[in-house]
Amino acid sequence: MSIQFERVALIGIGLIGGSIARDIAALGLARQVVVSSRSPETLKRAEELGLGTEYVACAAEAVKDADLVIVSVPVGASGAVAEQIAGTLKPGAIVTDVGSTKTSVIAQMLPFMPPHVHFIPGHPIAGTEKSGPDAGFVGLFHGRWCILTPLPETDPAALAKLKTFWETLGSRVDEMDPPHHDKVLAIVSHLPHIIAYNIVGTADDLETVTESEVIKYSASGFRDFTRLAASDPTMWRDVCLHNKDAILEMLARFSEDLAYLQRAIRWGEGDKLFDLFTRTRAIRRSIVEAGQDVDAPDFGRHALDKK
Ligand code: NAP
């Protein structure tokens, strides 16, 4: 693979930043990779893992001379990071992020972006419930979508360069306007996480079911929610606070649909239940057909069950 950027600065080096770092190294996409993280522990760990070629505590220092800057921090921290790096960004640099919300990240970062850089917000639709530099791995973005939300003034050449970068990591790239991104992600990602946090919280609160029974019988459905509910609390607090309107809109619709389901169960309307459950099964099939999951029974967990 050929060099795409002389110098890349990775600001934030957890699951996402750490996976990008591993892919850049594996594919040889940059000559120098400067890694920066706010805590000495994470920076040290990134160095032990060999995720970059330089390790710099100060984000402003890290972005100096970088042709590509990727900000991978919780969305609530993006404004503060933008303010820190603004004064030292190289003219012509591409500055992007990976945050799960876009309208809020743009509102926080754009005011600090100097006119001589290309600010192109982005969001790879790939992840796990793990966090920190150890959680990253080569190939996280392979076969997944990456959404870029360019601004009206975005330079097409810079956009094409960033698009090529994500495509080299194996992603398919879509462009969206930021409010549309936030609406789509509210239903496909944010609502499922909130429901998972809620259901796991409810089970934890139930007094009639002992904790051991919840764990013991979890293979009947509950454990599928626990993966989502094990996701990073800081990241998800920030997502909820920074995509508030779209999430509240989806939650309102969800509550209405839940009330419909509740009524159908109360009045024994089996046909309504059957129709809904048939429709939802088809959605699962579409996800498998689109290559976004495998068709193994029970999400491929049979091997685990036999242990
Ligand atoms: P992570 O593994 O928890 O890593 C977070 C990184 O951000 C660490 O380097 C951490 O530094 C730094 N950080 C945390 N709080 C900060 C603050 N207040 N100021 C400056 N830096 C801070 O997180 P991640 O999963 O990689 O997520 C990073 C971003 O990617 C988030 O915006 C998230 O919405 C987005 N995203 C996540 C996923 C996912 O599945 N996890 C998927 C797509 C997009 P220290 O460790 O040094 O404190």
User: How far apart, in whole angstroms, are the C-alpha atoms of residue 151 and residue 178?
Assistant: 9
Number of folded domains in the chain?
A: 2
Task: Answer yes or no: do 21 and 137 share one domain.
Answer: yes
The predicted structure's pLDDT at residue 27: 98
The predicted structure's pLDDT at residue 209: 66
Query: Which of 8-12, 99-103, 108-112, 297-301 is predicted with the least confidence, judged by mean pLDDT?
Result: 297-301
Task: Tell me which DSSP letter residue 187 carries.
Answer: I
The predicted structure's pLDDT at residue 307: 45
Assigned domain for 211 exists = yes
Amino acid at 17: G
Task: Tell me which DSSP letter residue 25 carries.
Answer: H
The string of pLDDT tens digits covering residues 160-199 is 999 999 999 999 999 999 999 999 999 999 999 999 999 9
Q: Is 271 helix (H, G, I), strand (E, B) or coil?
A: helix
- CA 87 to chain centroid, in Å, comes to 27
- Give residue 168 CA to ligand 1 midpoint distance, Å: 22
- Give residue 14 CA to ligand 1 midpoint distance, Å: 6
The predicted structure's pLDDT at residue 212: 79
Pick the residue whose CA is nearest to atom 38 on ligand 1.
127
Which residues, including other chains, have CB under 8 Å from residue 213's CB and lie 6 or more apart? none
Our mutation pick for probing the ligand 1 site, out of 38, 144, 185, 189, counting the most ligand atoms within 8 A of Cβ, is 38
Task: Answer yes or no: do 97 and 194 share one domain.
Answer: no
Query: Which of 60-69, 131-140, 204-213 is predicted with the least confidence, judged by mean pLDDT?
Result: 204-213
Task: Answer yes or no: do 152 and 189 share one domain.
Answer: no
The string of pLDDT tens digits covering residues 190-201 is 999 999 999 999
Report the pLDDT averaged over residues 222-246.
96
Domain range for residue 247? 180-268
Task: Answer yes or no: do 141 and 159 share one domain.
Answer: yes
Assigned domain for 121 exists = yes
User: How far apart, in whole angstroms, are the C-alpha atoms of residue 183 and residue 190?
Assistant: 10
Task: Answer yes or no: do 22 and 128 share one domain.
Answer: yes
| 303's tokens | 């091997």
CATH of the domain at 107: 3.40.50.720
Closest ligand 1 atom, residue 125 Cα: 43
Report the pLDDT averaged over residues 11-37.
98
Task: Answer yes or no: do 192 and 144 share one domain.
Answer: no
Phi and psi, residue 174, nearest 5°: -120, 150
- Percentage above 90 pLDDT, the chain: 87
- Give residue 207 CA to ligand 1 midpoint distance, Å: 35
CATH of the domain at 215: 1.10.3660.10
User: How far apart, in whole angstroms, are the C-alpha atoms of residue 113 and residue 121?
Assistant: 12
Residue with the bigger pLDDT between 273 and 305: it is 273
- Give residue 13 CA to ligand 1 midpoint distance, Å: 7
The predicted structure's pLDDT at residue 233: 97
Question: If you write DSSP's letter for every residue of 116-171 in order, what string do you get?
Answer: TSEE--EEES---S--SGGG--TTTTTT-EEEE---TT--HHHHHHHHHHHHHTT-
Report the pLDDT averaged over residues 53-67.
98
Assigned domain for 283 exists = no
Assigned domain for 297 exists = no
Task: Answer yes or no: do 200 and 59 share one domain.
Answer: no
Task: Answer yes or no: do 226 and 168 share one domain.
Answer: no
Res. 156 pLDDT band, cuts 50 70 90: very high
The predicted structure's pLDDT at residue 211: 67
Pick the residue whose CA is nearest to atom 7 on ligand 1.
73
Amino acid at 252: A
Phi and psi, residue 251, nearest 5°: -65, -35
Task: Answer yes or no: do 196 and 222 share one domain.
Answer: yes
- Percentage above 70 pLDDT, the chain: 95
Closest ligand 1 atom, residue 132 Cα: 2
